[in-house]
Chains A and B, each alone.
Chain A
């Protein structure tokens, strides 16, 4: 179970990397493992405005459909178009080539409010039955 120290995490199992006022967002290793083989990804358009905690995309595995929630608000500046043809990239490299969107960070405090790697590890441990 990979949980990179450099990222922040949401309770909905998204990760966020903040660099130069841009937040890159994806789903965690735990999330992709829970979903299984991912076969379809629906992403917003560039220019769309993400509202914190609102659905911004969909990830579908063979058996399940999962909404993806915005861990923070902002304007979409880039989407990972490669996922349209190779959705399995999320399974293979959730923190790298499997990134989903980049957004301009509307409020830095949103990012600071997210869990650290250590907190996310603790969160997963208490989530398990």
Chain B
């Protein structure tokens, strides 16, 4: 047996570290953080999220705010998607690109109001993204909220029931890729209907000092429904089954979002953005390689870096692979030559010198059963990391007005994740906290705030 264990020296810890320790988590290094990889076993945790609900500490992810009258323009310039599609209370999956089209990071962008936006960014990229955003934000004010903000993800078919019992927010009015501010277990929280598992679920942004109380309340409320803590190991297998990209695997600065199959989130014919010219050029030429799903047809696990072959010749490389706990068979994501990217194409993966037959298959590998009212299509989003904050948040102090990420309590009805909401204008929002969104939707129950 041979194993390498990353040194835990000088790693950052989230506000929930002691709880992970008490729960017996196996801790690993991830993106400069000491994080729980599993508590009871990755496969069991994976199944828990698919069948009941799981609670994830993803406080290592970053939150970067853009403020002021120039914030919207800065977001438009920085990202591939169209920020004009966002109303207050909307979230958008989007990409930060370099001039040459390489991916700086894939992120989610939140519009609190027309002068207040924030990015949720991958844990390992916080410093890089912050520098990039500051470099290109023009006259917008950039604030790193990462150190002050914890992030807890509640994911799985039982998630809405668990959260609904703890909050006056009407969760039916917060559809996929919408968010609202409200109280959860009496704590001020920004509730976002997003996730990285392929399941229904929520990501809860909370001031770091309150993370423990929120975690405890969720664990207690969720216990009867089978809620369990889930580590990064299952987070990875869950996102892989859902074919959601992971920065550093499917995406990096040498990879374009077009090769990664993210055209839907790249508005080449809309407003200008950093990288648009290069990506337009690539669209004309056609991306030389495409990200595909592979199903292995013989025993063996494809791992990142394994060559993909066709008739003995190397035609690509695996970016992620595992044994799919839900399917019970090995799956992988891989970049392959564009000519070999069609579903049904028979390839092989070179697993440590042994060619294992594989077939290109449609993704996602797993799709959750949809409720009658279909939610908008899921989009990738991931990775975050936490931080120490410039704002002094004491244990019991609510965020001051205009501070923190919690200054919104309305969420528009869903219009479909890919359809621009009607009448989105960059009109100034009312300055008071009781603002309604454009269509007047209230997301708190009558008489509650």
Contact = CB atoms under 8 A, between A and B. Distances in A.
A69 B2 contact: yes
B323 interface: yes
A80 to B, nearest CB: 15
A37 B1 contact: no
B194 interface: no
B69 interface: no
B2 A67 contact: yes
B237 interface: yes
Interface stretch (A44-52, A55-63, A102-110, A111-119): A55-63
A69 B233 contact: no
A96 interface: no
Nearest to B42: A62
B3 A36 contact: no
A58 B3 CA distance: 12
Contacts, number: 57
A62 B233 contact: yes
A62 B232 CA distance: 12
Interface string A65-76: 111110000000
A63 B1 contact: no
Interface in A19-40: 27-28, 31, 34-37, 39-40
A62 B299 contact: no
B190 interface: no
Interface string B122-144: 00000000000000000000000
Given A62-B233, A62-B323, A27 B301 contact: no
Contacts of A129: 8
A62 B322 contact: yes
Interface string B39-76: 00111100000000000000000000000000000000
Contacts of A63: 37, 42, 233, 236
Given A36-B38, A58-B352, A31 B1 contact: yes
Contact of A37 (B43, B300, B303): B43
Interface of A: 12-14, 27-28, 31, 34-37, 39-40, 58-69, 84, 129
Interface of B: 1-3, 8, 26, 37-38, 41-44, 233, 236-237, 299-301, 303, 322-323, 325, 330, 352
Q: Which 10 A-B pairs have the closest CB atoms?
A: A13-B1, A39-B323, A62-B42, A37-B43, A12-B1, A31-B1, A60-B301, A40-B301, A63-B233, A66-B1
